[in-house]
């Protein structure tokens, strides 16, 4: 009699082959992933449907909240733009029950039936919202980058750890099989000694000058500005275009750069670089967006790895798959024995055998998450740290902040990643950029 195992094994291998063909991942890796998934214990809890609040109801915030509805119920939404809050409340109305609407996130955080906060505000509001949520004992899924400045990161870490809340940074590529495979292969010496990491990010917007406009009804512009200086209202200043102003964000450095620099750091395996040099390629237009649309940066790490970060356009020569916007982006790891290229669409190598040859059983295995929001809610139940915890978010955000400081000062800088201070020539000037003055009342006192 033939054992029944053959049928189950054959079915398993067929599923692995189909998954490998669909994803472009090597068969050995798919087999390992599916085996781990089949043996993972189910997680049950009386809190399987926690109450969720969305703070920041723009496109990204609503997208994150929609993702979160797989695990919890949206009971409240908050935005300083009444039209955004109303749109979110309508979207997340379920079984005739509409989420409550707020214009001040501090009031929302007073509610006991809110257990989780999904935070999708502009970058300059990330820190204060995250700190307030942590102090209110809410677990937080916070959009990237973690902070607007280096100094803010330490304040957020302290709040998260002091109040024992779960925090997941929205760098969702940490939960991608492709990126994890690339970093595991690099960390295990598959391409020999790592020498270079090339990060390619889409160029930013370049436009201007802009004309002042009337603040729309229902939009609390002063609250939207928050810690930033009081400036006249432009339509192009707010909502989705906030990212092209240094006052509120970091342009292409912290837009796609926050994702790919996180992967670069994961593959390198260190907290931060020791030397940074950056230059503007395409300067902003007068009275327009303030972040340069194109830049180039070179970072040196303590292990000798050289990392470059470059903006790209549709006619860039690097042969990656085009993204929907016609721009090329991704991460290339180069070692003494080959290279590996990875982005959200593909993983490739100088020799296909670098990918298809299995790693040994005793190889370094990186932390596993195949569902970024799912990983967060698993940790809400288990009280463990998620894959992109607050420290991970801080270290990766700092890469962008360092590049921005070099771009804005024009200096080649030395950085101590352990002490988080600049040293050497230009240190006094550079260290003054680790924090920014917060406009009152929107400073740390605003959240207690």
Q: Give me 115's structure tokens.
A: 């257990």
Q: What is the pLDDT of residue 322?
A: 41
Helices 390-409 and 150-162: crossing angle in degrees, nearest 10, is 170
Please give the angle made by the CA atoms of 388, 273 and 261, to the nearest 5 degrees: 45
Looking at 179-267, which runs of residues are DSSP E strands? 194-202
pLDDT tens per residue across all 448 residues of the chain: 445 545 565 565 566 555 555 677 887 787 778 776 654 444 445 457 999 999 999 999 999 999 999 999 999 999 999 999 999 999 999 999 999 999 999 999 999 999 999 999 999 999 999 999 999 999 999 999 999 999 999 999 999 999 999 999 999 999 999 999 999 999 999 999 999 999 999 999 999 999 999 999 999 999 999 999 999 999 999 999 999 999 999 999 999 999 999 999 999 999 999 999 999 999 999 999 999 999 999 999 999 999 999 998 755 544 344 444 444 789 999 999 999 999 999 999 999 999 999 999 999 999 999 999 999 999 999 999 999 999 999 999 999 999 999 999 999 999 999 999 999 999 999 999 999 999 999 999 999 9
Give the model confidence (pLDDT) of 341-377 as tens digits: 999 999 999 999 999 999 999 999 999 999 999 999 9
Q: What is the percent of the chain with per-residue pLDDT over 70, rounded to a whole number?
A: 89
Give the model confidence (pLDDT) of 375-411 as tens digits: 999 999 999 999 999 999 999 999 999 999 999 999 9
Q: What is the pLDDT of residue 43?
A: 46
Per the CB < 8 A criterion, the answer to whether 138 and 52 are in contact is no
Q: What is the pLDDT of residue 153?
A: 98
Per the CB < 8 A criterion, the answer to whether 324 and 309 are in contact is no
Per the CB < 8 A criterion, the answer to whether 61 and 118 are in contact is yes
Classify domain 177-363+392-447 at the CATH superfamily level: Dihydrodipicolinate Reductase; domain 2 (3.30.360.10)
- At the topology level, CATH places domain 51-173 in Rossmann fold (3.40.50)
| Site of tokens 């070179």 | 298
Q: How far apart are the first and last CA of the chain?
A: 72
Q: What is the pLDDT of residue 206?
A: 96
Distance (Å, whole) CA 428 – CA 430:
6
Distance (Å, whole) CA 185 – CA 266:
11
Q: What is the pLDDT of residue 394?
A: 98
| Site of tokens 């505000």 | 121
Distance (Å, whole) CA 319 – CA 322:
9
Q: How many CB atoms lie within 10 A of CB 374?
A: 16
How do the domains of the chain map onto residue ranges? 15-41, 51-173, 177-363+392-447
């Amino acid at each position: 009699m033939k054992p029944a195992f053959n049928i189950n094994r054959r079915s398993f291998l067929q599923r692995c082959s189909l998954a490998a063909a669909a994803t472009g991942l090597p068969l050995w890796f798919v087999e390992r992933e599916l085996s781990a998934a089949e043996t993972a214990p189910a997680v049950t809890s009386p809190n399987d449907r926690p109450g969720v609040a969305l703070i920041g109801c723009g496109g990204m915030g609503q997208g994150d909240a929609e993702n979160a509805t797989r695990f919890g119920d949206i009971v409240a939404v908050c935005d300083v733009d009444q039209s955004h809050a109303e749109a979110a409340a309508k979207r997340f109305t379920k079984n005739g029950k509409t989420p409550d609407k707020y214009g001040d996130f501090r009031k929302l955080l007073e509610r006991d039936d809110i257990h989780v906060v999904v935070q999708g505000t502009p970058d300059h509001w990330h820190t204060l919202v995250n700190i307030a949520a942590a102090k209110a004992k809410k677990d937080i899924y916070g959009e990237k980058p973690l902070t607007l400045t280096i100094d803010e990161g330490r304040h957020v870490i302290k709040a998260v750890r002091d109040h024992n809340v779960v925090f997941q940074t929205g760098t969702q590529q940490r939960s991608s099989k492709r990126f994890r495979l690339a970093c595991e292969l690099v960390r295990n010496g598959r391409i020999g000694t790592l020498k270079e990491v090339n990060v390619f990010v889409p160029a930013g917007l370049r436009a201007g000058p802009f004309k002042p406009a009337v603040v729309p009804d229902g939009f609390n512009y002063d609250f939207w500005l928050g810690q930033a200086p009081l400036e006249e209202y432009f339509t192009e200043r707010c909502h989705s275009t906030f990212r092209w102003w240094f006052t509120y964000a970091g342009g292409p450095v912290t837009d796609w750069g926050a994702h790919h620099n996180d992967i670069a750091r994961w593959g390198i395996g260190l907290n931060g670089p020791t030397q940074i040099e950056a230059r503007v390629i395409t300067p902003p237009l007068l009275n327009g967006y303030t972040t340069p649309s194109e830049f180039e940066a070179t970072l040196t790490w303590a292990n000798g790895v050289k990392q470059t970060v470059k903006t790209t356009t549709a006619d860039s020569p690097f042969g990656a798959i085009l993204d929907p916007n016609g721009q090329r982006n991704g991460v290339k790891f180069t070692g003494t024995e080959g290279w590996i290229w990875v982005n959200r669409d593909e993983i490739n190598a100088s020799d296909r055998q670098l990918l298809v040859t299995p790693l040994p059983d005793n190889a370094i295995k990186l932390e596993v998450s195949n569902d970024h929001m799912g990983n967060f809610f698993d940790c809400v139940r288990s009280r463990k740290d998620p894959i992109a915890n607050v420290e991970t978010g801080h270290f990766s955000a700092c890469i962008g902040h360092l590049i921005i400081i070099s771009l804005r000062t024009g200096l080649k800088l030395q950085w101590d990643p352990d002490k988080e201070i600049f040293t050497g020539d230009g240190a006094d000037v550079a260290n003054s950029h680790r924090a920014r003055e917060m406009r009152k009342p929107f400073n740390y006192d605003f959240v207690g």
